[in-house]
Amino acid sequence: MGASFPLMEKAEVNGSNAHPVFKKLRKSTKCFYNTETGKIKNIPWNFSKFIIDQEGKVLIYSNPR
């Protein structure tokens, strides 16, 4: 393929250093974002799954537990 950019790298999921994708996913998922307080909960476990549509809207969140 000859890619000249990183295909994979470690990314923070929670906290202030979280990757922008995960910040958006957490804020867009009802079980993580409290609209009244504005607080965002952490993703609790590895292998959590988010299904999103073409516009980036979270359709389903699946906790692996």
Domain borders along the chain are 20-62
Nearest one of 38, 29, 36 to 63, comparing CA atoms: 29
Torsion on CA atoms 46, 27, 59, 21, rounded to nearest 10:
-60
pLDDT in tens, 10-28: 999 999 899 999 999 999 9
The chain-wide mean pLDDT, for the chain, equals: 91
Mean pLDDT on 38-64? 91
